Amino acid sequence: MAEKTLTCLACGQLNRVPEARLTAGPKCGSCGAALLSKQPADVDPAILQKAVQNDDLPLIVDFWAPWCGPCKMMAPEFTKAADKLTGQARLVKLDTQRHQSTGGRYRIKGIPTLVAFERGKEKRRQSGALREGQIVAWVKAR
């Protein structure tokens, strides 16, 4: 059976998940955290880098900051999109205020910026706040 590698966003452990179980609420074999949470996780830069390199599912990162109004407007839309895209992509958030060097490393010039990573590479990015339907369409149009 085909398996997907997913990095646990809580502890960084790599997990192999059978494709058929992707929508069945798989949990990390090490710490028990949900691998495909419906609520986009705020990730640590080290874990983000590991997930970018190892994950078999597309990883969609919302680079945001607490002081950014459009980011706050987009947050509930991003959460709804994550729910719609369960099993197709993982949506996560990175706080560029808390992790300032990370925004630079990924060349984030304005926020919110969405970056789609797939199999270790950046595929696309999009700046500016989007609605749920726009986020879902953007993720699927690959």
In the complex, the residues that contact Zn ion under the rule CB under 5 A are 8, 10-11, 13, 28, 30-31, 33
- Residue 13 CB, nearest approach to Zn ion (Å): 5
Q: What is the DSSP annotation of 36-92?
A: T-SSPEEPPHHHHHHHHHH-SS-EEEEEE-TT-HHHHHHHHHHHHHHHHTTTT-EEE
- Catalytic residue status for 68: yes
- Residue 54 CB, nearest approach to Zn ion (Å): 13
Closer residue to Zn ion in complex, CB, 10/108: 10
**For the chain, give me the number of helices (H) and strands (E)?**
4, 7
Question: Regarding beta strands 113-118 and 121-127, do their DSSP bridges make them parallel or antiparallel, or are they unpaired?
Answer: antiparallel
- Catalytic residue status for 71: yes
Closer residue to Zn ion in complex, CB, 81/92: 92
- Residue 108 CB, nearest approach to Zn ion (Å): 26
Task: Just list the catalytic residues.
Answer: 68, 71
